[in-house]
Structure 1
């Protein structure tokens, strides 16, 4: 009973922190690991919702989630006699243990999920800097800096040419704090807002 009360209290705290400062709250992130087994990097937002983001999901820093983006943890039992979750979800009481595992997945840093985008249980990796277009139904892993759209989603193009991607990866800007990023912006020689037009190889 005490544990149940504690859990309810912590969930209330989460809701308060989401409204107050989901971009930067370290406490909120620790609670999401403890309560939901969802690991969310600093400055990522829109993903503090266990109804839309399943357990065993690791999200990098600076990710942007539209409020209608969904990630699904597992499929229904298409090979079972019934598709009903009674047959695969042990929390519902009919099976002793889950018969379909929740997918473990990694979403790297600075990924943008558009409105009504859907990530299927088959997806285990979404690379840094990728864009998931509005309405996309993603059924396979997404490479870094790819823009995917459609149902099923396909790569439309890459955000940058390989040379620019190499420079961005070399910068490791996503590891910077908010204040460090602010300094980068003030000292910017063009790389921040137009990385394709600046040669950072030297």
Structure 2
């Protein structure tokens, strides 16, 4: 992760595998992107966080790609290293390159994803745009766009919207826009959906 030169760092800890950032306002500019990362959270150098994302207190994010407008609650773990269970020993001391081996597969989190408190996202999982992960969930499989999942292991509860509405939202991809433009685009999408509902009636 790279902080913009203009950021005012109150406390930062650089270690071999992870970095902690927070400023006096608990906001930091990651690669010119306005991202909020609360104190006590760790983000590895090889992770990417998109514009307008929020990361709560005491989160651990390793080798993950997180989209724009995501909301990550407190105590969430994304992409934690996994030991090899088929080896004689599971200890990382027997690996030539422990970080590479333990974090072999990236986690990919889409845009506008909400991950509830105390959830764990297993390494290599992909979560689709607009998905919601319920609190205290263990996600060990891919999650489709706009799905709501919860539990340990996480299971599909339902989709946020009917399929037709999901397709309209996906076509407009409002999350690719800056905040002011995205706000207007969301209003347009709402109006379009209302018109579609009227035509059906």
TM-score (norm. length: structure 2): 0.72
- Written as runs of structure 1 = structure 2, the 5 A alignment for 1:27-176 is 27=32, 36-46=45-55, 52-55=60-63, 57-88=64-95, 90=97, 98-123=100-125, 125-176=126-177
Shift of 1:183: 3.9
Shift of 1:172: 1.3
Structure 1 runs not aligned, ≥5 long: 1-8, 92-96
Task: Give the conservation status (yes or no) of the 8 Å contact 1:17–1:25.
Answer: no
What CA RMSD, in Å, does the superposition of the two structures yield over aligned residues? 3.6
Distance in 2 between residues matched to 1:18 and 1:106, nearest whole Å: 29
Distance in 1 between residues matched to 2:171 and 2:183, nearest whole Å: 19
Distance in 1 between residues matched to 2:166 and 2:184, nearest whole Å: 22
- Written as runs of structure 1 = structure 2, the 5 A alignment for 1:180-195 is 180-184=181-185, 188=187, 191=190
Partner of 1:94: none
1:15 aligned onto 2:21: yes
Task: Give the conservation status (yes or no) of the 8 Å contact 1:117–1:136.
Answer: yes
Structure 2 runs not aligned, ≥5 long: 1-8, 14-19, 36-43
TM-score (norm. length: structure 1): 0.72
